[in-house]
Amino acid sequence: MWSMGGIIAIVAIVMGCLTSIVKMIMRNKSKVHQSEISRLEGELSQTQAHCQRLEERVAVLERIVTDSGFETQQEISRLG
């Protein structure tokens, strides 16, 4: 039969192995999350740059449409 000391030793070894396995899993998940964060940061940066370009284009279009010369040209086009 197993002595109490032998059982405690086996439990300690098993717990040590489980702790090591859990630590490895957590480190791996952390790496996966970090790569996902990096990918999303890059995507966010691209989206922000695209949004900035669109805002600049809208500002140009607003200037064109509100320009009195544009309105005159539209009226001439409608008459012709």
Q: For 30-73, how does the pLDDT look when each residue is reduced to its tens digit (9 = 90+)?
A: 877 888 888 899 999 999 999 999 999 999 888 887 877 777 78
For the segment 15-41, what is each residue's pLDDT rounded down to a tens digit? Answer: 888 998 888 888 888 877 888 888 899
Two tokens, residue 65 = 């449409």
- Are residues 64 and 70 in contact, defined by beta-carbon separation less than 8 angstroms? yes
Q: How many angstroms separate the CA atoms of 72 and 27, rounded?
A: 67
pLDDT at 1 over 70: no
Rounded to 10°, the helix 68-79/4-66 angle is 60
CA atoms within 13 A on the CB side of 68: 0
